[in-house]
Structure 1
């Protein structure tokens, strides 16, 4: 698998169009199309933005690793993925890569309490 395949896979898994991804990343739709066809590669800054957008490690995005290791704690990674799939919880993804499961649980509990008001 190459970067272009990984990008397309991540985009499709998220269920968004090329145009939507382009808007969210601040690039042109044609750039996304060229990335996915392997005709063009993004610069380093855009790669970082794409990795952050999909909540994956840069090495995963570049197909240097088979699984994303954005979070160093595997339990935190599992919990983060569950929360990532919930739109109201996406604020957690501004957190540090060194977040532990307990860190994420505490923030989630705070957010739940805030949502009850």
Structure 2
């Protein structure tokens, strides 16, 4: 199941307005610096670095800033955890029981490198 499906189901069950209006981050529009650094919670962009979160999903219109799902990314020795989810345009929403989601660090870093390679190949950075 995709993160879009998971958060959509959570938001519908919680009775949130505008539930699940998300899509993946469009790599062709990615302008946040190094993709690997971004996905590992160390974004180059001062905006994201100062907030302590990254947008894991953007709006279903294709624009991250329109309707993002944000999360903390915690890098452990062997695991990566997404937690502390939020919707900045609905700060009153409680995502406390959504997640956390944990991944094997080696697999996560490999997927982040693959995404960075796609972006570099397309010349999007």
Specify which structure has the higher proportion of strand.
2
* Fold shared per TM-score above 0.5: no
TM-score by length of 2: 0.25
Specify which structure has the higher proportion of helix.
1
